[in-house]
Amino acid sequence: MSTATYTVAGMTCGHCVSSVKEEVSQVAGVTAVDVDLASGRLTVTSDSPVDDALIAAAVDEAGYEVKV
């Protein structure tokens, strides 16, 4: 099991959180997604490490940006 943490910019409400969770949970191998609105923290749990670019693309698809 692998866990990775990212910071997402631009989220302002619960709908934002739901959008990010929905898109990231569709990435192959992802088993759990936790998003903290206050800190902008996105925690992704997966069976094996997932390419950061795939997570960033999913967040982008939701309309937000992963801060590097």
Q: For residues 27 and 55, what is the distance between their CA atoms, to the nearest angstrom?
A: 7
- For the entire predicted model, the pTM comes to 0.94
Question: For residue 7, which of 64, 51, 45 has the smallest C-alpha distance?
Answer: 64
How is the chain split into domains, by residue range?
2-67
* Residue 9: predicted pLDDT: 97
**pLDDT average per 10 residues of sequence, the chain (68 residues):** 97 97 97 98 96 97 94
Enumerate the β-bridge partners of residue 30. 46
* Residue 68: predicted pLDDT: 76
- Tell me which fold the domain 2-67 belongs to: Alpha-Beta Plaits (3.30.70)
